[in-house]
Amino acid sequence: MARTVLQQADIARALTRISHEILESNRGADDLVILGIPTRGVILADRIGALIAGIEPGSDPAGMVGALDITMYRDDLAKHPTRTPQPTQVPRQGIDGKTVVLVDDVLYSGRTIRAALDALSDLGRPRAVRLAVLVDRGHRDLPIRADFVGKNLPTSRSERINVRLAGLDATEEVTIEG
């Protein structure tokens, strides 16, 4: 039985808050690059970029938002060999000397973010790297912490978090199963 913990309005509020926190932390949108981790992290990154453009005059979401494929950097390819690589799209100014905000839907063990950091190091040398997630469910295997969190949802390891987003899924919600 799945229990809904965030609905569309909750997700929108969380993303608005995260966008404001990113701008406050970075002191504006200058030298900011937002990279979403496929699949749902890219959708969230696009939304955050659009929100930042609406808040910060003169900022261009197309020049700030991209996608970072981590498929070949994962440490679980032997267990899940059917992953299809997605395109990495970095804004034209690159990431060197920029503040890069990695965006993902759920932070769990930290292994996806470790893979993203490895992939990022092959693209350049950012001034700083921050992490924004819609849901932090705990249970880290690695010492990784999100800088911007939509919702902390302590879970048991047997539970599953499902994030569904409009544009990819039929509905927009976050549920817990288990």
CATH of the domain at 132: 3.40.50.2020
In a domain, 84, yes or no: no
Q: 113-123, pLDDT tens digit by residue?
A: 999 999 999 99
Strand partners, 36: 67, 103
In a domain, 44, yes or no: yes
Q: Give mean pLDDT, residues 133-160.
A: 96
Establish if 83 belongs to a structural domain: no
The answer as to whether 43 is a domain residue is: yes
pLDDT of 82 reads 67
* 87 belongs to a structural domain: no
Mean pLDDT, residues 12-31: 97
pLDDT range class, residue 133, cuts 50, 70, 90: very high
The total of structural domains in the chain comes to 1
Residue 11 lies in a domain: yes
Distances (CA, A) of 163 to 29, 39, 90: 27, 11, 25
Q: What is the pLDDT of residues 65-92, one digit of tens each?
A: 999 999 999 888 777 766 788 899 999 9
Q: What is the pLDDT of residue 175?
A: 98
The structure's pTM equals: 0.95
